[in-house]
Amino acid sequence: EVQLLESGGGLAQPGGSLRLSCVATGFTFNIYAMSWVRQAPGKGLEWVSSISDDGASTYYADSVQGRFIISRDNSKNTLFLQMNSLRAEDTAVYYCAKARDSFFESYNDYWGQGTLVTVSS
Amino acid sequence: DIQMTQSPASLSASIGDRVTITCRASQVVGHYVAWYQHKPGIPPKLLIYGASILQVGVPSRFSGSRSGTDFNLTISSLQPEDGATYYCQKYNTAPLSFGGGTKAEIK
């Protein structure tokens, strides 16, 4: 059974940093691309970032480009999102999602439960 | 960037009704559109990919179609458990944009 378990959310101050993790089980992690998708309170889903299966290619939404860094450790079946220079508008539930393919241009067939990030002073 | 304009933003329908949600892409995206169902407190669930391919395990009352840059998600006979927000997503290239969502309410 595919499982994605996010952690690392919490309260951060504007300008601060947080690092999200997503541990994957139940599938061969290193042959699939992965993504982060977020949902701000009362808003819709927003794609944040994606990474290819080998970690060589990464992509970001304009809203987080230059502030967030996606990475993965295939030896530990773990996906990361380093979030820097946080803003109030980054407040959201962050979902880890598995892509159907090795390349990021793919739909997401499994999603984690999400972790809440709140940016506030 | 390609925009996905989803309509309606909300709908209210009765059990057994046929419901159609539309996404219009601002440029050609081929058949690279997926549809998801999202309920509060539950992760989004993949319903349709490749514009019209039903994900394994999804009830057959859900279907997807494409006409050029217009994409439809149809629920042929609305059920109580279909109360949710539905999103389209294009995935041909970055950014992997979502539509604004359609909140479906059961009367």
Asked if residues A45 and B36 have their Cβ atoms less than 8 Å apart, the reply is yes
Span B14-72, pLDDT tens digits = 999 999 999 999 999 999 999 999 999 999 999 999 999 999 999 999 999 999 999 99
Peptide bond connecting B43 to the previous residue in cis, omega within 30 degrees of 0: no
Are A114 and B101 within 8 A, CB to CB? no
Closest-CA residue of B relative to A57 is B94
Which pair of structure tokens corresponds to residue B65?
A: 């179609």
Residue that is written with structure tokens 């595919």 in the block: A2
Span A49-80, pLDDT tens digits = 999 999 999 999 999 999 999 999 999 999 99
User: What phi, psi does B16 have (nearest 5°)?
Assistant: 95, -10
Report the alpha-carbon distance of residue B84 to residue A34 in Å, rounded: 25
Q: What DSSP character marks residue B83?
A: -
Asked if residues A53 and A32 have their Cβ atoms less than 8 Å apart, the reply is yes
Predicted pLDDT at A103: 85
Q: Indicate the burial class of B68 (C-beta count within 10 angstroms; 0-12, 13-18, 19 or more).
A: exposed
Residue that is written with structure tokens 């990021």 in the block: A104
* A59 at B interface, C-beta within 8 A: yes
Side-chain-side CA neighbours of residue A4 (13 Å): 27
- Residue of B29, B35, B91 to mutate, testing the A interface (most A Cβ within 10 Å of its Cβ): B91
Q: Which residues contact B31 (CB under 8 A, 6 or more apart)?
A: B50, B51, B52, B66
* A27 at B interface, C-beta within 8 A: no
Predicted pLDDT at B58: 98
Are B98 and A45 within 8 A, CB to CB? yes
Q: What DSSP character marks residue B60?
A: T
Helix (H), strand (E), coil (C) string for chain A: CCEEEEECCEEECCCCCEEEEEEEECCCHHHCCEEEEEECCCCCEEEEEEECCCCCCEEECCCCCCCEEEEEECCCCEEEEEECCCCHHHCEEEEEEEECCCCCCCCEEEECCCEEEEECC
Are B96 and A114 within 8 A, CB to CB? no
Peptide bond connecting A41 to the previous residue in cis, omega within 30 degrees of 0: no
* A114 at B interface, C-beta within 8 A: yes
Predicted pLDDT at B47: 98
Predicted pLDDT at A46: 98
Full pLDDT tens readout for chain A, 121 residues: 999 999 999 999 999 999 999 999 999 999 999 999 999 999 999 999 999 999 999 999 999 999 999 999 999 999 999 999 999 999 999 999 999 998 888 999 999 999 999 999 9
Q: Say which residue, B94 or B54, is predicted with more confidence.
A: B54
